[in-house]
Amino acid sequence: MAEPLLDVRGLTTHYVSARGTRVTRAVQEVSFSLRDGETLGVVGESGSGKSTLALSLLRLLPPAARIVAGSVRFEGEDLVAKPESEMRHIRGKRMAMILQDPMASLNPLFTIGDQVAEPLRVHEGTSRRGAWERARELLGAVRISAPNMRVRNYPHELSGGMRQRIVGAIAISCGPRLLIADEPTTSLDVTIQAQYLSLLRELQRAQRLALIFITHNLGIVARMCDAVAVMYAGRVVEAGPVRQIFDAPRHPYTRALIESIPRLGEANGRLTAIDGQPPDPAALPEGCAFHPRCPVRLEKCATERPRDTAVGAGHRTACWLHG
Amino acid sequence: MTPLLEARGLVKHFPVRRGLFGGPDKAVRAVDDVSFVIEPGATLGLVGESGCGKTTTAKLVLLLERPTAGEIRFDGESLATLDAERLRRYRHSVQAVFQDPYASLNPRMRVGAIIAEPLVTNEKQLSSAEVGERLRKVLDLVGLPARAAELFPHEFSGGQRQRIAIARALTLSPRLIVLDEPVSALDVSIRAQILNLLKDLQRELGLAYLFIAHDLAAVAHMSHVIAVMYLGRVVETGAARTVATQPRHPYTKALFAAALPSHPDESRDEVVLPGDVPSPLDPPSGCRFHTRCPQVMPHCSTTEPKLACVDGRDVACYLYDPAGVSKAG
CA A237 to mean position of chain CA atoms: 16
**For chain B, what is the mean pLDDT?**
90
Confidence band for B268, pLDDT divided at 50, 70 and 90: low
Q: What is the CATH number of the domain that holds A182?
A: 3.40.50.300
Distance, CA of A179 to CA of B52 (rounded, Å): 33
pLDDT band at B124 (very low <50, low <70, confident <90, very high): confident
DSSP string for residues in B130-194: HHHHHHHHHHHHTT--GGGGGS-GGGS-HHHHHHHHHHHHHTT--SEEEEESTTTTS-HHHHHHH
Counting residues of chain B whose pLDDT is more than 90, the rounded percentage is 67
Among partner residues B192, B217, B270, which is closest to A198 by beta-carbon distance? B270
Q: Do B191 and A217 touch (CB under 8 A)?
A: no
Domain count, chain A: 1
For range A227-236, the mean pLDDT:
96
Each residue's pLDDT tens digit, A20-64: 788 899 999 999 999 999 999 999 988 899 999 999 999 999 999
Give the residue-averaged pLDDT of A207-226: 93
What is the per-residue pLDDT across B207-247, written as a single tens digit (0 to 9) for each?
999 999 888 889 999 999 999 999 999 999 999 989 988 99
Q: Nearest residue of B to residue A218 by CA position? A: B262
Average the pLDDT over each of A164-168, A300-304, B16-20, B155-159 and give the range with the smallest value.
B16-20
Of B157, B222, B265, the CB nearest to A277: B157
Closest partner residue to A242 (CB to CB) among B240, B254, B264 is: B264
- Residue B192 has its nearest CB partner, among A161, A273, A277, at A273
**Model pLDDT, residue A43:** 95
Closest Cα in chain A, distance from residue B261 (Å): 5
Q: Does residue A208 fall inside a structural domain?
A: yes
**Residue A22: phi, psi to the nearest 5?**
-115, 125
Minimal Cα distance from A217: which residue of B?
B188
Q: Which domain holds residue B235?
A: 5-15+27-248
Q: Is residue B51 part of a domain?
A: yes
Q: Which helix (H) or strand (E) holds B241?
A: helix B240-245
Which stretch of DSSP H or E encloses residue A264? none
Residue B93 lies in a domain: yes
Query: Does B187 contact A at CB distance below 8 Å?
Result: yes
Model confidence band, residue B267 (pLDDT cutoffs 50, 70, 90): low
Residue whose C-alpha is closest to residue A41's, from A31, A52, A30, A50: A50
Minimal Cα–Cα distance from A150 to chain B, Å? 15
Average pLDDT (A293-312) is: 94
Q: Contact A260/B188, CB-based, under 8 Å?
A: yes
Contact B188 A257 (CB under 8 A): yes
For the segment B146-152, the average pLDDT, to the nearest whole number, is: 93
CATH of the domain at B155: 3.40.50.300
B264 and A222 within 8 Å at the Cβ level: the answer is yes
What is the number of other CB atoms lying within 10 angstroms of the CB of residue B265? 10
Is residue B265 in some structural domain? no
Average pLDDT over residues B68-78: 94
Residues of A with CB under 8 A from a CB of B: 45-46, 159, 161-162, 189-195, 198, 216-220, 222-223, 225, 242-243, 246, 256-258, 260-266, 268, 270-275, 277-278, 293
Mean pLDDT across A247-252: 95
pLDDT at A1 over 80: no
Classify residue B299: in a domain, yes or no. Answer: no
Kindly state whether residue B139 falls inside one of the protein's structural domains: yes
Cβ of A271 within 8 Å of Cβ of B195? The answer is yes
Segments forming the whole domain that contains residue A162 = 92-225
- Contact residues, chain A, for B159 at CB < 8 Å: 277
Contacts of A299 (CB under 8 A, 6+ apart): none
A193, A217, A262 ranked by CB distance to B221: nearest: A262
pLDDT in tens, A72-107: 999 999 999 999 999 999 999 999 999 888 888 999
Residue B287 has pLDDT above 80, yes or no: yes
State how far the Cα of A248 lies from the Cα of A251, in Å rounded to an integer: 9
pLDDT band at B144 (very low <50, low <70, confident <90, very high): very high
**Banded pLDDT at B329 (limits 50, 70, 90):** very low
User: Residue A191: which of B189, B215, B254 has the nearest Cβ?
Assistant: B254
A194 and B273: CB-CB below 8 Å? yes
pLDDT over 70, % of chain A: 98
Q: Show which of residues 289-318 on chain B sit within 8 Å of chain A, judged by CB atoms.
A: none
* Residue B306 falls inside a structural domain: no
Count of the separate structural domains present in chain B: 1
- Nearest neighbour of B216 by CB, restricted to A257, A258, A264: A264
Verify whether the Cβ–Cβ distance B49 to A191 is below 8 Å. Answer: yes
Min Cα–Cα distance to chain A from B307, Å? 23
ipTM: 0.82
Minimum mean pLDDT among A186-195, B39-48, B108-117: which range?
Answer: A186-195
Closest CA to B251 of B305, B173, B197, B315: B315
Strand ranges, E, within chain B: 5-16, 26-38, 43-47, 69-74, 77-78, 94-97, 176-180, 208-212, 225-230, 233-239, 308-310, 313-315
Residue pLDDT, tens place only, B170-202: 999 999 999 999 998 888 888 999 999 999 999
Above 70 in pLDDT, residue B35?
yes
**Could you tell me if residue B319 is inside a domain?**
no
How big is the A-B interface in CB pairs under 8 Å? 128
Instruction: Measure the CA–CA gap between B286 and B274, rounded to whole angstroms.
Output: 18
Show Cβ contacts of residue A95 under 8 Å, excluding neighbours closer than 6 positions.
A57, A58, A74, A176, A177, A178, A179, A180
Secondary structure class of B35 (helix, strand, coil): strand
CB-CB neighbors (< 8 A) of B215 in chain A: 262
Tell me if A261 and B245 make a contact (CB, 8 A cut-off).
no
Residue A181 within any structural domain of the chain: yes
Domain assignment of residue A76, yes or no: no
Residues A224-232 have a mean pLDDT of 95
- Between CA B321 and CA A143 the distance in angstroms is 34
